[in-house]
Amino acid sequence: MNDKELFLGSYFDKKRPLTVIEIFHIVSSIQTNLIAKDLILGFAQTAPSQEIQAFLLKGRAGTAAH
């Protein structure tokens, strides 16, 4: 059995190597979450009212769960 058959054969098993595309999606998701978290903090710091600031900070706390 060659490497390609081994990879495709183990594609549905419990353990298999991650593909480059899957790794890229994981890294991209982490970067997007970090940017969103910082952007929300910036908007919260410049919010005109305490109510809006509290709403934005609540949303920022939700990004930490992911």
Q: What percent of the chain has pLDDT over 90?
A: 59
Question: Quick check: 2 pLDDT over 60?
Answer: no
- CA 17 to CA 66: how far, in whole Å? 23
Question: Quick check: 21 pLDDT over 90?
Answer: yes
Neighbour count for residue 56 (Cβ, 10 Å): 19
* Interval 44-63 mean pLDDT: 91
pLDDT given at position 8: 61
Helix count (H) and strand count (E) of the chain? 3, 0
pLDDT digits (tens, 9 = 90+) for 3-18: 655 656 555 666 778 8
Question: Quick check: 47 pLDDT over 70?
Answer: yes
